[in-house]
């Protein structure tokens, strides 16, 4: 379970960071958040939320048993 949570945390971290870089600088439009239509106009907030969720998932992975 710990490895799964770490994997999900890494995916969320990459997607959130990529979305944040895209929204702030216009680089790398490869993230999943930018491709979804439900986040139109809210991509910056969704990227920040993904980063916060990644931190929470990493914290949960640390407290999970092996």
SS3 readout for 43-56 = HHHHHHHHHHHHHH
Kindly give, in sequence order, each residue whose CB lies less than 8 Å from that of residue 51, ignoring residues fewer than 6 positions away: 12, 13, 16, 17, 20
Tokens of 31: 């993230």
Mean pLDDT of 4-9: 95
Kindly give, in sequence order, each residue whose CB lies less than 8 Å from that of residue 15, ignoring residues fewer than 6 positions away: 31, 32, 33, 47, 50
> What is the pLDDT, as a whole number, of residue 61?
94
In this predicted model, what pLDDT tens digit does every residue of 7-37 receive, in sequence order?
A: 999 999 999 999 999 989 988 777 788 888 8
> What is the pLDDT, as a whole number, of residue 66?
63
Nearest to 32 by CA among 46, 48, 15, 20: 15
The predicted model scores a pTM of 0.88
């Amino acid at each position: 379970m710990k490895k799964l949570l770490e994997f999900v945390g890494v995916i969320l971290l990459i997607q959130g960071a990529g979305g944040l870089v895209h929204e702030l600088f216009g680089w790398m439009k490869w993230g999943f958040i930018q491709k979804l239509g439900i986040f139109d106009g809210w991509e910056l907030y969704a990227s920040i939320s993904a980063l916060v969720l990644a931190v929470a998932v990493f914290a949960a992975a640390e407290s999970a048993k092996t």
